[in-house]
């Protein structure tokens, strides 16, 4: 690029920052567990579902799909996962791993103008559950 700029132009290089979400590499406030209810009518192992969920999340967070400063919305990821994982998965929810965070705090994550969001989720961040309960959502009364 420098060879093609004009004499009066200047190029300013700004470093990019990757902001990992969900896994152990993420900031503790951004760590989460994906809780999944499998389709009860199919005979598929928990490990296969977990692997497929992580693969779909990684596909959603492909670097080509994101721009600097773009906001993450779980509703969009959830729609993508439900579409990608038909017929294996019935329900997917995201629950913060941080004990001080409440259910729903990770439904929107903002990035700074120099940040790109990426997933650091692994199969350890996916849990197969039989039903959604207050305990599964880490909600205490």
Distance, in Å, from the CA atom of 136 to the CA atom of 141, rounded to the nearest integer, reads 13
Distance, in Å, from the CA atom of 81 to the CA atom of 62, rounded to the nearest integer, reads 14
| Stretch (H or E) spanning 94 | strand 89-96
pLDDT at 10: 75
Pairing relation of β-strands 72-73 and 115-119?
unpaired
Longest dimension (CA), the chain: 68
pLDDT at 61: 95
Distance, in Å, from the CA atom of 80 to the CA atom of 12, rounded to the nearest integer, reads 36
pLDDT at 93: 93
pTM (two decimals): 0.83
Distance, in Å, from the CA atom of 26 to the CA atom of 72, rounded to the nearest integer, reads 14
Residue with tokens 């192992």: 45
Distance, in Å, from the CA atom of 117 to the CA atom of 115, rounded to the nearest integer, reads 7
CA 41 to centroid of chain Cα atoms: 27
Tell which residue, 95, 86, 89, 90, has the closest CA to residue 133: 95
Residue 118, Cβ neighbours under 10 Å: how many? 19
Report, as ranges of residue numbers, the positions in the chain whose pLDDT lies below 70. 1-8, 139-141
**122: buried, middle or exposed (CB in 10 Å: 19+, 13-18, 0-12)?**
middle
């Amino acid at each position: 690029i420098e060879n093609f700029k004009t004499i009066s132009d200047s190029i300013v290089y700004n470093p990019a920052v990757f902001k990992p979400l969900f896994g152990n590499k993420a900031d503790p406030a951004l760590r989460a567990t994906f809780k999944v209810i499998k389709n009860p009518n199919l005979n598929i192992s928990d490990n296969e579902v977990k692997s497929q969920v992580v693969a779909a999340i990684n596909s959603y967070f492909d670097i080509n799909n994101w721009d600097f400063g773009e906001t993450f919305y779980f509703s969009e990821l959830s729609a993508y996962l439900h579409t990608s994982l038909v017929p294996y998965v019935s329900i997917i929810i995201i629950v913060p791993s941080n004990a001080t965070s409440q259910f729903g705090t990770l439904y929107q994550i903002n990035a700074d103008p120099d940040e790109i969001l990426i997933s650091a989720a692994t199969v350890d961040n996916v849990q197969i559950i039989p039903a959604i309960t207050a305990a599964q959502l880490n909600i205490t009364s």
